[in-house]
Structure 1
Amino acid sequence: GGLSGAQFAVGANLARGPVTGAQFSVGANVAGADLLGLQSTVGVNVVRGSAEGAQLAVGGNIASGEVNGTQMAVAVNVAGKGLLGAQLGVGANVSGGPMRGLQAAVGANIAAGRVHGLQATAGLNVAGQMTGLQMSSGVSYARNLSGAQLSIINVGGEVDGAQVGIVNIASNVSGAQVGILNVARELDGEAVGLLSFVGGGQAHVQVWASDVALTNVGVKLGGRHIYSLFTVGYSPSIDEDRRRYVMGAGLGGHIPAGRFFFDIDAVSSTVHTKRLFDDTNHVLAQLRLTAGWQVARHFAVFGGVSANTLVTWDDSDPWKELGIGPQWRHVADEGRTTVRMWPGLLAGVQI
């Protein structure tokens, strides 16, 4: 039969029917039907129905029906038909139905139904329909997300909100992706990162000439208004100018205006004279402002100005031939460090 009251055992407590009250044991507690109250054990708590109250175990908590309350375990918590409350575990938390509340684990949180709330873990979060927040030092996955993912790796299907992590991957995003690598089949919003491959964003190759290097090639990747830029440049030896290589990266903002556009970006580069990857004691910082015209769908021309700052240290080559127009020069560290500033020009094409 059922239980109304309390059971205490070193081994196991077994109630064949519903339990209203409490079960305390070292081995296991079993309720044959619904639970209204508390189960506490070192081993395993089992409810063959719905649980309203709390299950506390070192081993695991298992309820075949819905859980309205709290499950706390070192190993595993299982709410077979859904959760209204909290699951707190070191190992894994599993909700087989809708969840409204909190799942927090070191290992994994898994919710098969619609989720309203928070999943937080060091390992893996998995949700079907997620409204709320997923946080992980590992991986978070949601088939449909309305809210945010904050993890090292975020994976989503339809995302309405934000993904913030090292790697962000989604099918369609309405919101933002912020990370080192962002990937989205379609993005209605912004992508901020080192590498962003997003539909509706920017993926261009630029070729231009400037006062720093005669030939430059750059890759421009990003969302609609924010982009990253990776550049390499080369100038042959001409008259008194030596051969030089330039390699850099930067971050910029893009303002579309019909067939015209305006870009402003900051680029940091190294300058080399013999080979591209030689050690160097020269760092060139540029603030560039350019305007462009989209001549055709996949072809544009652009030009602009730059503010250049070259820092040379350890009493190395100051690259005096770099620069046009008026210059500002400052020498420090007993002549071992030189800072030079000058205006620059650039013009090129974008495909």
Structure 2
Amino acid sequence: MKKTLSILLLLTLFTGIQISSAQQHPDLKYRTFRVTLLPGLSTNGVEAPNYSAKYSLNILAGYHGALDGYEIGILNINRYYAEGLQLGVVNGTGGHMMGLGLASLVNFAGDEMQGLHFAGIGNMSGEFMQGLQFSGILNISGGGMQGLQFAGIGNLAGEDIQGIQAAGIFNAASEEVLGIMMAGIGNFNGGFNQGIMMSGILNVAEETQGISMAGILNVGKTMQGVQLAGIANIADEARGVQVGLVNIADEFEGVPVGLISLYGNGRKNFDFWVSDGGYTNVGLKLGTMDIYNMISLGYNSALNTEELWSFGWTIGAHTPLEEAWNNDRFDGYFRMKDISIQSIQEEEEDIWETNLYSFRYLLGKEISNGFGIYAGPTLNLLVQDEEDQRDYSWYSIFDGNRWDKNFDFWVGFTAGVQLF
């Protein structure tokens, strides 16, 4: 409590400094004190809109010309501006509001807000807000916002935002955001976003530079930076990194990480390959021409009395060999290096209890457009629960037990074809 009072005292002193340097409206008369019951029933009478004051008490409601000091009341409204400290249910001004505004319902200004404003329902500005705003429901700025906005429901800005917006439900901006937007449900920007967007469900922006993180979906026309989503990332044009179960773009340049990474200018291959120990595999390889993701199915009836199948995911790099080895003699050849994880399944065993981790180094040749062959060595590490250990490797260079897991390591091979 002491700490809170100290902060408020400092803020009050700060507003006092602002007050002492405030420029009074040239057409307004000045009174040090004023007391108002209702508009028209005040120490300034019906002429109250023509007066400014340093100390103002509105017992029920007050409508005055301006404030250059401290105001307390239920309804505090100033026609031209309010500078200083306002405490009330509703604080409002037709011009700008500067200083510290505390309202149980609404702080609003027809022009701009500068300073700190706290309200149970909403803080509003017709054009510009600079400073901190806290609201249980809504913060709105018709022009721009610089600073911090916090709301239980939503933050809105009509043009641009610089700083941080945090809302329990949504953040929205129609033009430009520079900084951080955080929302429990969604962030929406009809213009340009630079910085970080974080939401529990959805981020939508016309143009994004920076990091977009969403629990379900990121959507944008153009993106440069990083998109991370629990389900999908969607963009017309994107450069950087996309991480999600599904990544989609008309044009993409960068690193995709997902089960499905489908790009209009990317690769779309089917791979068929055999590996050591009798595995036969088919995979769908998508991504860019340089970086690919692949999901695959494998089958093996050679290592065990029971039939085995596997489900796998791979991320790797595809490089023309003349570029990788810097030698024009290898035109038409290529190199692939990738890392994969395969879950090996037998009958009714739980999936992901036995995993095969592999690194492949493959050299290949483009036979014709859309058809290539490749082969190379593979480093394999089999990890399975010690109590359910089965003979899923055809030989081991070494094996061991750690953390209730059994490990088998061996060097194998892969040979296959790539189509389309």
TM-score (normalizing by structure 1): 0.84
Contact 2:398/2:410 (CA < 8 Å) preserved in 1?
no
Instruction: Give the whole-Å Cα distance in 2 for the aligned partners of 1:71 and 1:329.
Output: 63
Contact 1:97/1:112 (CA < 8 Å) preserved in 2?
yes
Question: 1:95/1:308 Cα in 2 relative to 1: closer, same or farther (>3 Å)?
Answer: closer
Displacement of 1:138 in angstroms is 2.8
Displacement of 1:10 in angstroms is 4.2
Report how many aligned residue pairs link the two structures.
340
Structure 2, unaligned runs of 5 or more: 1-48, 50-64, 321-330
User: Per residue, is there more helix in 1 or in 2?
Assistant: 2
Question: 1:201/1:66 Cα in 2 relative to 1: closer, same or farther (>3 Å)?
Answer: same
Displacement of 1:139 in angstroms is 1.8
Displacement of 1:319 in angstroms is 5.3
2:387 pairs with one of 306, 309, 314: 314
Which amino acid in structure 2 is aligned with residue 252 of structure 1?
Answer: I
Which amino acid in structure 2 is aligned with residue 39 of structure 1?
Answer: G
Q: Which residue of 2 aligns with 1:5?
A: 68
> 1:33-79: per-residue Cα shift (whole Å, max 9, x none)?
33333432111122222223332212211112222333221111111
1:244 pairs with one of 294, 304, 307: 307
Instruction: Give the whole-Å Cα distance in 2 for the aligned partners of 1:181 and 1:8.
Output: 56
Instruction: Give the whole-Å Cα distance in 2 for the aligned partners of 1:338 and 1:21.
Output: 70
Displacement of 1:12 in angstroms is 0.9
Instruction: Give the whole-Å Cα distance in 2 for the aligned partners of 1:129 and 1:315.
Output: 54
Q: Which residue of 1 aligns with 2:337?
A: 264
Q: Which residue of 2 aligns with 1:131?
A: 194
Question: 1:6/1:292 Cα in 2 relative to 1: closer, same or farther (>3 Å)?
Answer: same
Which amino acid in structure 2 is aligned with residue 178 of structure 1?
Answer: V
Q: Which residue of 1 aligns with 2:412?
A: 344
Contact 2:86/2:100 (CA < 8 Å) preserved in 1?
yes
Q: Which residue of 1 aligns with 2:86?
A: 23
Which amino acid in structure 1 is aligned with residue 418 of structure 2?
Answer: Q
SS at match of 2:127: coil
Q: Which residue of 1 aligns with 2:374?
A: 302
Displacement of 1:259 in angstroms is 3.1
2:280 pairs with one of 215, 219, 231: 215
Displacement of 1:111 in angstroms is 1.0
SS at match of 1:293: strand
Larger radius of gyration: 2
Contact 2:259/2:295 (CA < 8 Å) preserved in 1?
no
Q: Which residue of 2 aligns with 1:168?
A: 233
Contact 1:213/1:244 (CA < 8 Å) preserved in 2?
no
> 1:6-43: per-residue Cα shift (whole Å, max 9, x none)?
46444211223333334321x21221233333432111
Instruction: Give the whole-Å Cα distance in 2 for the aligned partners of 1:199 and 1:88.
Output: 40
Instruction: Give the whole-Å Cα distance in 1 for the aligned partners of 2:84 and 2:392.
Output: 84
Question: 1:101/1:315 Cα in 2 relative to 1: closer, same or farther (>3 Å)?
Answer: closer
Question: 1:183/1:315 Cα in 2 relative to 1: closer, same or farther (>3 Å)?
Answer: closer
Aligned residues: percent identity? 28
Question: 1:3/1:291 Cα in 2 relative to 1: closer, same or farther (>3 Å)?
Answer: same
Question: 1:338/1:144 Cα in 2 relative to 1: closer, same or farther (>3 Å)?
Answer: closer
Question: 1:218/1:306 Cα in 2 relative to 1: closer, same or farther (>3 Å)?
Answer: same
SS at match of 1:212: coil
> 1:89-135: per-residue Cα shift (whole Å, max 9, x none)?
22211111222222122221111122222212222111121122212
Contact 2:256/2:293 (CA < 8 Å) preserved in 1?
no
Q: Which residue of 2 aligns with 1:119?
A: 181
Question: 1:311/1:78 Cα in 2 relative to 1: closer, same or farther (>3 Å)?
Answer: closer
Question: 1:126/1:311 Cα in 2 relative to 1: closer, same or farther (>3 Å)?
Answer: closer
Q: Which residue of 2 aligns with 1:156?
A: 220
Displacement of 1:159 in angstroms is 0.8
Displacement of 1:285 in angstroms is 3.7
Contact 1:140/1:154 (CA < 8 Å) preserved in 2?
yes
Query: Which segment drifts farther, 289-298 or 70-79?
Result: 289-298
Instruction: Give the whole-Å Cα distance in 1 for the aligned partners of 2:297 and 2:83.
Output: 73
Question: 1:158/1:332 Cα in 2 relative to 1: closer, same or farther (>3 Å)?
Answer: closer
TM-score (normalizing by structure 2): 0.71
> 1:131-164: per-residue Cα shift (whole Å, max 9, x none)?
2221223322211112221232322211122212
Question: 1:61/1:314 Cα in 2 relative to 1: closer, same or farther (>3 Å)?
Answer: closer
Question: 1:245/1:62 Cα in 2 relative to 1: closer, same or farther (>3 Å)?
Answer: same
Instruction: Give the whole-Å Cα distance in 1 for the aligned partners of 2:355 and 2:226.
Output: 35
- The root-mean-square deviation of aligned C-alpha atoms, in Å, is 3.0
The structure with higher relative contact order (CA 8 Å, sep 6+) is 1
Question: 1:132/1:309 Cα in 2 relative to 1: closer, same or farther (>3 Å)?
Answer: closer
